[in-house]
Amino acid sequence: MNFKILNTDNNARTAIISLLHGEIKTPVFMPVGTYGSVKSIMPNELKDIGAQIVLGNTFHLWLRPGTDIIKLHNGLHNFMHWDKPILTDSGGFQVFSLSKKRKITEEGVAFSSPINGAKMFLTPEKSMQIQNILNSDIVMAFDECTPFKIADTIITKKEVYNSMTLSSRWAKRSFDEFQYQKNMNMLFGIVQGGMHEDLRDESIDKLLNIGFNGYAIGGLSVGEPKEDMIRILKHTARNLPKYSPRYLMGVGTPEDIVNGVENGIDMFDCVMPTRNARNGWIFTRYGNIKIRNSAYKKDLLPLDEECTCYTCNNFSRSYLHHLQIIKEINGARLNTIHNLHFYLTIMNEMRDAINNNEFNAWKTKFIIDRQQLNKK
Amino acid sequence: MNFKILNTDNNARTAIISLLHGEIKTPVFMPVGTYGSVKSIMPNELKDIGAQIVLGNTFHLWLRPGTDIIKLHNGLHNFMHWDKPILTDSGGFQVFSLSKKRKITEEGVAFSSPINGAKMFLTPEKSMQIQNILNSDIVMAFDECTPFKIADTIITKKEVYNSMTLSSRWAKRSFDEFQYQKNMNMLFGIVQGGMHEDLRDESIDKLLNIGFNGYAIGGLSVGEPKEDMIRILKHTARNLPKYSPRYLMGVGTPEDIVNGVENGIDMFDCVMPTRNARNGWIFTRYGNIKIRNSAYKKDLLPLDEECTCYTCNNFSRSYLHHLQIIKEINGARLNTIHNLHFYLTIMNEMRDAINNNEFNAWKTKFIIDRQQLNKK
């Protein structure tokens, strides 16, 4: 078994996933390394703050540097000097983000390279082949990420159904190609079905009939109201098989992640801690800080007095404010170290809380703590 | 004595300078931290690669974050979390760089802030007061950096003379204000005099009459032909007092620095290793590498196989090429780590060579080595 549950506390659970490049403890947050590099932070620093696994983007790495370069390095791990596990997405979400610039058929997705305009064609088989070259520990099936709205109009249930069933057929083709590649990694299916419980159920059934190593929830955090997101998360997570890893894709704020863990999700990824850091948006235990704000110009406190990261140990908010104002690279770095350290620390605390059957108490305190800065 | 010569090898020498925040071994290269941050590299990384002292810019720090903020942090060391020595320039060179946007009088320099247009006035006294707040270990006298050309015309000897004598009067005012501040740091005078040996001699005489803790050579690398630079460097270095530190300001390439050491210079600073790194221009033992060049796209070698820096230990030229192409912050970081490590390593090697009376042999090999990549 590659997935071993350690403890459950209501729906929340801790587990260990054994992968080609090591074990990871869940619930886990995966920093995003789009182009083979987690922006502004180095592999040695990622390890220092406790990162267990990072995410790489198939679509981006396919375009740049290209699979020939990755192949020369014997895979993404060696290319980016990260010897722990890597999960790669399938490229489905990025193709979806191209919106009007791509054409979807049963066979796959045609689009023009945003880099040089070259005609590209991505299929389930191609996605598997690329991820095989990347040699990621967890490979994601190729899917269409069903949009919530197109041009300000919420898409119809029929459209959601068509998209979900296309993703199901692509999931089967992904599975078949993955078997052919005969690599030792894990393959995850992706549940779609928009905001419709019955379509989510049907998507799960179709994926279970194929049989994956893990199951991801896709198509959330794509513009829908928060209550729809929570409703579908709760419903879908409950219906996923218990003895496989569950992965909520592209989510989210600290509160979203805590909510996911409460509903039995094991894995998360999001660009928020890294992207927001570069823009000076800091997550702390006691609330969020926009470090550009002139209130921090003369503030000698660290971002969070209780935080043990390199940034909080050594630098004042005033210094970080200064670096943000002068657009200094080291500002992006220090903010990124703090934000990722914060995300990884709360995952760690949640694992401890679940193991001690104290998740609810931990969550209650966390939600209150997070509102402190706003109250001042 | 704050300056102790350890060995001399022809004109080259090794020494120890004892400063408020520790000792530094010379010849030394000082990475430039303009705004209280050496761009793209952190204090812990600077220590890892052997940096002994960094340079801060009085002019920039006066404008942003301003002396009130530095004062709140009890000086620049604590603000930027660097507990080893700091040298600050006087602001003279930056004011000079404003060219037409400033007005020089006997009293000082009037200019508009490039940040917000506010009217500013910098004098020798003000420069000392700012550097006192920065609490730098080595304070530089306020001078006018004599230009080589104005609007494509080489300035006359009379103009150079007037500029040099103004700098001498400002040196005296700097000295008087420095004594008044009663801090425990060292004050260096700056020799001017353009490309004229007799004016350089006169400048030295005037500075010696005041009596500084060290002497810097200013007004070189400001657009003059290389042979003029070398002629004036040789002449001026020879005439500086033997038992005081000698500092060649704003220089330069690895070869320039080796040449400076050969002529008895103890201290150097330059933005070249850091600025060039961000632009993908790499210095190595065997020549310079423009990492953007497509020749490196599939090159699996490190920048320099013999280099022991974090970058060379872990990443290929191909990876660094990729990071440069996608404009990734980590590319600037890895290049900066390598370039500064290279500069600091050759300083270390030169100190060893001088201590073993083998400087000439070291230099001969170094100059040949540096041409290897170009020969291929």
Closest CA to A106 of A60, A172, A199: A172
What is the predicted pLDDT for the residue at A1?
62
CB contact under 8 A, B35 and A322: yes
Mean pLDDT of B228-251: 97
Residues B227, B294, single domain; the answer is no
What is the predicted pLDDT for the residue at A375?
79
pLDDT in tens, B87-100: 999 998 888 788 77
Query: Does pLDDT of B182 surpass 80?
Result: no
B278 vs A contacts (CB less than 8 Å): 329
- Final residue in a domain of this structure, among A240, A269, A298: A269
Q: Could you give the angle at which helices A359-369 and A254-262 cross, rounded to 10 degrees?
A: 160
Inter-CA distances, B112 with A192, A244, A325, B63, Å: 59, 65, 19, 11
**Of residues B168 and A92, more confidently modeled:** B168
Mean pLDDT of A324-338: 97
Mean of the per-residue pLDDT values of chain A = 96
- Final residue in a domain of this structure, among B240, B269, B298: B269
Residues A102, A232, single domain; the answer is yes
Give me the interface pTM, i.e. the ipTM: 0.96
Q: What are the binding residues of A for Zn(2+)?
A: 307, 309, 312, 338
Mean pLDDT of B177-182: 88
**Is some CB atom of chain A closer than 8 A to the CB atom of B333?**
yes
Residues B290, B229, single domain; the answer is no
What is the predicted pLDDT for the residue at B1?
62
Q: Hey, which residues does B248 pair with through a beta bridge?
A: B217, B268
- Final residue in a domain of this structure, among A269, A291, A317: A269
Mean pLDDT of A238-242: 97
**Is some CB atom of chain A closer than 8 A to the CB atom of B42?**
yes
Contact A375, A25 (CB under 8 A): no
Mean of the per-residue pLDDT values of chain B = 96
Mean pLDDT of B56-74: 97
Residue B131 has which token pair? Answer: 């550097």
A329 vs B contacts (CB less than 8 Å): 39-40, 278, 329, 332-333
- Catalytic machinery residues of B: 89, 269
What is the predicted pLDDT for the residue at A128?
96
Query: Does pLDDT of A184 surpass 80?
Result: no
Mean pLDDT of A324-341: 98
- Catalytic machinery residues of A: 89, 269
A326 vs B contacts (CB less than 8 Å): 35, 64
Query: Does pLDDT of B224 surpass 80?
Result: yes
Q: How many helices (H) and strands (E) does chain A have?
A: 16, 18
Mean pLDDT of B312-318: 98
Residues B300, B154, single domain; the answer is no
Q: Residue A69: which pLDDT band, with cuts at 50, 70 and 90?
A: very high
- What is the domain count for chain A? 2
- Å between A370 CA and nearest CA of chain B: 28
Q: What is the DSSP string of B163-219?
A: HHHHHHHHHHHHHHHHHHHT-SSEEEEEE--TT-HHHHHHHHHHHHHH--SEEEE-S
With pLDDT > 90 as the criterion, what percentage of chain A qualifies? 92
Structure pTM? 0.97
Residues B194, B335, single domain; the answer is no
Query: Does pLDDT of B369 surpass 70?
Result: yes
pLDDT in tens, A125-176: 999 999 999 999 999 999 999 999 988 999 999 999 999 999 999 999 999 9
Q: What are the binding residues of B for Zn(2+)?
A: 307, 309, 312, 338
Residues A348, A284, single domain; the answer is yes
Print the domain residue range for A44.
3-269
Residues 98-117, chain B, touching A (beta carbon < 8 A): none
**Is some CB atom of chain B closer than 8 A to the CB atom of A365?**
no
Residues B325, B212, single domain; the answer is no
Inter-CA distances, B45 with A45, A49, A103, B338, Å: 11, 16, 48, 11
- Å between A330 CA and nearest CA of chain B: 5
Residues A223, A366, single domain; the answer is no
Residues B230, B297, single domain; the answer is no
E strand or H helix at A330, and its extent?
helix A329-355
**Is some CB atom of chain B closer than 8 A to the CB atom of A326?**
yes
What is the predicted pLDDT for the residue at A374?
80
CATH number at residue A197: 3.20.20.105
| Strand, coil or helix: B288 | strand
Give alpha helix (H) positions in A73-156. Answer: 76-80, 92-97, 124-134
Residues B284, B265, single domain; the answer is no
User: Which of B322, B330, B331 is opposite residue A65, by nearest beta carbon?
Assistant: B322
CB contact under 8 A, B39 and A315: no
Residues B265, B282, single domain; the answer is no
Residue A92 has which token pair? Answer: 């489905």
Q: How far apart are CA A59 and CA A126, in angstroms?
A: 11
Q: How far apart are CA B285 and CA B267, in angstroms?
A: 21
Query: Does pLDDT of A363 surpass 90?
Result: yes
Residues B243, B142, single domain; the answer is yes
B321 vs A contacts (CB less than 8 Å): 65
